């Protein structure tokens, strides 16, 4: 049987969604000016080519940030239940930190964080 709180929650989701769509439709400007055809309506006329070559180090740093940010989330959650998990939890968290430390050393040795150094042939 479906509870009353679930029905209320589903109904609230539908109401909020419909309200957001209606307000967005009411506030949306209808005019199609030439400025509106630009990707960004900042008033600055785009100049040049949009095919920019990004350095691969940018993506390596971004991926590293995501990996270590997720590590912080897991360790924060572990710190909330550290007393209940006792030694098995400490062992698991230590292995997790060790694995990520090995990944960090690997990234450093591969040169993922060497932004200023140029390699031969560039």
What is the tens place of the pLDDT at every residue in 59-79? 778 888 888 888 889 889 888
CATH, range 4-110 = 1.20.58.1610
CA atoms within 13 A on the CB side of 40: 7
Threshold 0.75, pTM exceeds: no
Residue 83 near residue 89, CB atoms below 8 Å: no
- Going from N- to C-terminal start, the domains of the chain cover 4-110
Provide the pLDDT for residue 41: 59
51 vs 43: which has the higher pLDDT: 51
**Do 100 and 68 form a contact (C-beta atoms < 8 A)?**
yes
Residue 7 scores a pLDDT above 90: yes
């Amino acid at each position: 049987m479906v509870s009353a709180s679930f029905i209320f929650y589903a109904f609230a989701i539908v109401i909020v969604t419909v309200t957001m769509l209606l307000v967005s439709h009411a506030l949306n400007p209808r005019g199609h000016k030439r400025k509106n055809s630009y990707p960004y309506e900042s008033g600055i006329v785009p100049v040049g080519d949009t095919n920019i070559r990004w350095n691969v180090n940018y993506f390596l740093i971004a991926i590293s940030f995501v990996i270590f940010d997720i590590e912080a989330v897991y360790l924060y959650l572990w710190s909330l239940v550290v007393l209940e998990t006792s030694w098995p939890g400490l062992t698991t968290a230590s292995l997790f930190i060790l694995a990520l430390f090995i990944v960090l050393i690997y990234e450093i040795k591969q040169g993922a964080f060497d932004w200023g150094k140029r390699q031969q042939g560039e």
